[in-house]
Structure 1
């Protein structure tokens, strides 16, 4: 009888522990660690070599992080897919066919998540922007509204920008930060 009770207690504790381990990315705070986790999820979902033309992460206090992206694993096909993820549920919303100028490759107009362009850097810049707002504008608890990778239409990787939009926790004013690919602030405005 005591062995059965002890066994039941152990089983209940293990099950509760597993249930309480939330590995979902949508509930994590908007910081470098969370963005790195999102990148890992995206690489798991779309592959290490996936090519993107659009990647936007928005944050809502109620639903957490939402991800919108346009992605392909076959750039030569000129076919891409538009996907979004809300509360860790991925949904394909459409197929997109792109056109590229003659003599160019579709991949020249796409980016990959790697050492040059990555979500960890984007997360670091979200944290940096938040601290800047707290220090310069005396805004307590600025929250991520939107973070995106702006890849230039001409395919010049060096012109890629990280764009971050923050809002005060209790306010409507949006503060926008634009950074170069190497993390230097280009401009900030409200």
Structure 2
């Protein structure tokens, strides 16, 4: 009976702490779910950034709105299973509609796609650079400032788990590697 209580208490403690998210497809799917819960399934974003630190694990910074025509957005951070508002943002747009400078999550753009690309980038580092364990330190989607959605894409920065050189990957929305630098 005592062991059962200990197991249940440990399980509740782990659930309440929120646990650390992984930097793979499954972890990024959880992040996408958290974004949809916070901003709504039909939200518009100008930026989503996922970062990793050894101390906290994954954290998210997102700037979005559910009403793009209002030109008012909110920037929020998700850290250790808590959302905190960082700022209110007002867009100033000349030439074009607000939606031209934002993106939505769904068919063409997906946070879970970032997770897939993280796995692809890790494989590339293992195959080409013989780095067996790499971590995603930053993953981003930013709306272009000029409203040209053809410039939208996925950007990732990975580092060896034990530190060292940063490797930067840029992918188009279809997941094709556009640039790989270090």
TM-score by length of 1: 0.87
Q: Structure 1 stretches of 5 or more lacking a match?
A: 1-5
Task: Show the 5 A alignment for 1:157-172.
Answer: 157-172=149-164
Contact 1:30 1:126 survives alignment (8 Å): yes
Structure 1 moving runs of 4+ over 6 Å: none
Change beyond 3 A, Cα 1:140–1:11 = closer
1:18 aligns with 2:12: yes
- Equivalents in 1 of 2:77, 2:3: separation in Å? 40
Q: Structure 2 stretches of 5 or more lacking a match?
A: none
Counterpart of 1:35 in structure 2 is: 28
- Equivalents in 1 of 2:7, 2:138: separation in Å? 38
Change beyond 3 A, Cα 1:155–1:76 = same
Task: Show the 5 A alignment for 1:116-131.
Answer: 116-131=108-123
RMSD of aligned Cα (Å): 1.9
- Equivalents in 2 of 1:19, 1:63: separation in Å? 17
TM-score by length of 2: 0.91
Larger radius of gyration: 1
Say how many residue pairs are matched.
182
Task: Show the 5 A alignment for 1:29-178.
Answer: 29-102=22-95, 104-178=96-170
- Equivalents in 2 of 1:165, 1:16: separation in Å? 34
